[in-house]
């Protein structure tokens, strides 16, 4: 056993202990629910929790072990699930009052695969309305707070997952990412988050309409965790194909050996990176060198700022008026601000501009594929700025633009189709999270994780945040 509370243990340790019979999944679940009760009221990260479902899942894991069956790689690990994916019997709200009664009748494949792997669902985590922002709050579920610093955003749109995981509510958080919604909350909450390659993790909501073009080619599900080992374990459970997601593919989790060579870029496309983040990148590069990697500092990367424009074109050019009408009907201030801030840009997008964006996407993805063939790992900032003040995008037009300008490295990278990982590397003196971003080649999450583990082993260990009321 251990003196560390069960709820605070990493997923790797919990699964090993449950499989070995050192502790029951029910005992882990009870400890996790105790932590949820203690920490969640201050941060409102988990917005729906059914103790009976959590205990039933834990009992099923214990029964499988007692019967001599393999309980799965996540045996007894408490996980949280974002409210924008289907979980049978729960409303897929996506943060909307309009969807409070949209009860899923089946699991999204990513949820099914987590549960089949032995995970124990602890609760549903918050997202901004329509999952539009890098801040998390809505009219239905309320506002989510960052457990490390209440005045900072917890990130978005997987802000509930980031806040919960940072606070020790579950060992692994499920999130989704089309423009940074896994990576940014992980960074803002001082934990780690992995955006996998498109097609690596099957996902599909039977409760709603099929996704628009931008969503189909750039949206993914991915894990958030407090250790890189837990990201690796979560990916092993989540990375499965499913016929309901025709773009999902069954690919090995590990590829052939690559050169241990990384590129470091402090100011992608001339971005005005915060000095604190540049220092973290330089320190991470030294840690990689200590682990035997060659790290070359480069002045330029394949396009990121242009890729961010393509991302916005594919989002805003595919039904902007319908999105605006839905936001008006919902009346959510954050969603309306997110769309109003893009109105002038959206009005410039016609069929030709939309088609051009799809064509240019191929060229940008090709440039990134060629670059990662030369440099299997790329180190770059997670944002131009330290985590934003909460609701900064609602303060003024200038602040809204500031947020979007800072986030090009979140928005642009999905156009490349490559996996990207945000790695927490420490805290400033006032408790503001610091981190870096790691990019690897297509379906080479294993390479990104290897580099992240080397940096983690020589740097800062993520601590559990104690939320303040």
Q: Where are the domains of the chain?
A: 6-457
Question: Using 50, 70 and 90 to split pLDDT, how confident is the model at 469?
Answer: confident
Residue range 2-23: average pLDDT?
96
Active site residue: 131, 158, 181, 248, which one? 181
Handedness of CA 188, 190, 191, 194 (dihedral sign): positive
148 and 226 in contact (C-beta within 8 Å)? no
45-66 pLDDT per residue, tens: 999 999 999 999 999 999 999 9
The average confidence (pLDDT) of the chain is 98
Number of neighbours of residue 224 by Cβ within 10 angstroms: 34
169-210 pLDDT per residue, tens: 999 999 999 999 999 999 999 999 999 999 999 999 999 999
Residue 429: which residues within 8 A CB-CB, separation 6 or more? none
176 and 132 in contact (C-beta within 8 Å)? no
353-406 pLDDT per residue, tens: 999 999 999 999 999 999 999 999 999 999 999 999 999 999 999 999 999 999
Cα–Cα dist 226/162, whole Å: 10
- Check pLDDT > 70 for residue 5: yes
β-strands 220-225, 172-177 pairing: antiparallel
List the structure tokens of 316. Answer: 């805003």
Number of neighbours of residue 210 by Cβ within 10 angstroms: 8
Q: Give the up-direction half-sphere exposure of residue 304: CA atoms within 13 A in the CB hemisphere.
A: 26
The per-residue b/e assignment along 378-387, b for 16 or more CB within 10 angstroms, e otherwise, is bbbbbbbbbb
412 and 362 in contact (C-beta within 8 Å)? no
Cα–Cα dist 448/376, whole Å: 8
| 348 against 3, higher pLDDT | 348
Active site residue: 157, 158, 227, 248, which one? 157
- The pLDDT value recorded for residue 352 is 98
Nearest to 112 by CA among 288, 273, 238, 281: 238
Cα–Cα dist 335/296, whole Å: 41
29-42 pLDDT per residue, tens: 999 999 999 999 99
- Check pLDDT > 70 for residue 1: no
Q: Is it true that the peptide bond before 220 is cis, omega within 30 degrees of 0?
A: no
Residue range 155-172: average pLDDT?
98
382 and 182 in contact (C-beta within 8 Å)? no
pTM passes above 0.85? yes
CATH superfamily of 6-457: Amidase signature (AS) domain (3.90.1300.10)
Collapse the DSSP code of 209 into the 3-class scheme (helix H, G, I; strand E, B; otherwise coil) and give the result. coil
Residue range 12-23: average pLDDT?
98
The reply to whether 82 belongs to the active site is yes
Category of 319 on φ-ψ map: left (φ > 0), alpha (ψ -120 to 50) or beta: left
Number of neighbours of residue 76 by Cβ within 10 angstroms: 31
List the structure tokens of 182. Answer: 């896994």
Residue range 252-264: average pLDDT?
98
Strands (E), 331-419: 377-380
- The pLDDT value recorded for residue 468 is 85
Question: Using 50, 70 and 90 to split pLDDT, how confident is the model at 2?
Answer: low
Residue 351: which residues within 8 A CB-CB, separation 6 or more? none
Q: Tokens 């990260």 appear where?
A: 45
Bridge partners, residue 48, by sequence: 124
Task: Calculate the alpha carbon distances from 75 to 24, 122, 134, 324 in Å.
Answer: 10, 14, 32, 43
The reply to whether 106 belongs to the active site is no
The reply to whether 157 belongs to the active site is yes
> CA-based angle 292:294:296, to the nearest 5?
150
List the structure tokens of 326. Answer: 């839905």
Find the distance separating the first CA and the last CA of the chain, reported in whole Å: 32
- The pLDDT value recorded for residue 346 is 97
412 and 420 in contact (C-beta within 8 Å)? no
Q: Where are the alpha helices (DSSP H) in 144-203?
A: 159-166, 183-189
């Amino acid at each position: 056993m251990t003196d560390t509370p069960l709820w605070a243990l990493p997923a790797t340790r919990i699964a090993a202990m449950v499989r070995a019979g050192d502790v029951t999944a029910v005992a882990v679940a009870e400890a996790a629910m105790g932590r949820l009760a203690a920490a969640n009221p201050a941060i409102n990260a988990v917005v729906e929790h059914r103790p009976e479902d959590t205990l039933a899942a834990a009992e099923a894991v214990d029964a499988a072990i007692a019967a001599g069956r393999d309980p799965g790689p996540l045996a007894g690990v408490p996980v949280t699930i974002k409210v924008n994916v289907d979980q049978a019997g729960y409303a897929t709200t996506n943060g909307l009052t309009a969807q409070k009664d949209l009860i899923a009748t089946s699991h999204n494949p990513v949820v099914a695969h987590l549960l089949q792997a032995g995970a124990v669902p602890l609760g549903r985590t918050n997202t901004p309305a329509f999952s539009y922002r890098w801040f998390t709050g809505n009219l239905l579920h309320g506002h989510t707070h960052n457990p490390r610093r209440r005045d900072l955003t917890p990130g978005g749109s997987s802000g509930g997952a980031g806040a919960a995981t940072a606070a020790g509510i579950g060992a692994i958080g499920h999130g989704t990412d089309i423009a940074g919604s896994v990576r940014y909350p992980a960074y803002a909450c001082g934990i780690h988050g992995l955006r996998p390659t498109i097609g690596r993790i099957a996902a599909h909501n039977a409760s709603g309409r099929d996704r628009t073009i931008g969503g189909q080619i750039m949206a993914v599900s991915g894990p958030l965790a407090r250790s890189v080992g837990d990201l690796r374990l979560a990916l092993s459970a989540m990375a499965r194909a499913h016929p309901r997601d025709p773009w999902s593919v069954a690919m090995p989790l590990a590829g052939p050996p690559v050169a241990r060579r990384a590129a470091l870029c402090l100011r992608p496309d001339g971005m005005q990176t915060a000095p604190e983040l540049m220092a973290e990148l330089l320190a991470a590069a030294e840690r990689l060198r200590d682990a035997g990697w060659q790290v070359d500092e480069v002045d330029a990367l394949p396009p990121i700022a242009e890729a961010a424009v393509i991302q916005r074109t594919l989002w805003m050019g595919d039904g902007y008026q319908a999105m605006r009408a839905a936001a008006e009907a919902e009346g959510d201030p954050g969603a309306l601000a997110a769309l109003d801030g893009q109105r002038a840009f959206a009005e410039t997008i016609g069929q030709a501009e939309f088609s051009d964006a799809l064509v240019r996407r191929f060229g940008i993805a090709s440039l990134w594929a060629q670059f990662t063939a030369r440099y299997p790992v790329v180190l770059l900032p997670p944002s131009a700025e330290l985590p934003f003040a909460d609701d900064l995008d609602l303060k003024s037009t200038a602040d809204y633009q500031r947020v979007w300008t800072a986030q090009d490295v979140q928005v642009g990278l999905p156009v490349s189709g490559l996996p990207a990982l945000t790695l927490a590397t420490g805290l400033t003196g006032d408790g503001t999270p610091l981190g870096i971003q790691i990019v690897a080649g297509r379906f080479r999450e294993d390479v990104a994780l290897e580099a992240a583990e080397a940096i983690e082993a020589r740097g800062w260990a993520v601590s559990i945040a104690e939320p303040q009321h």
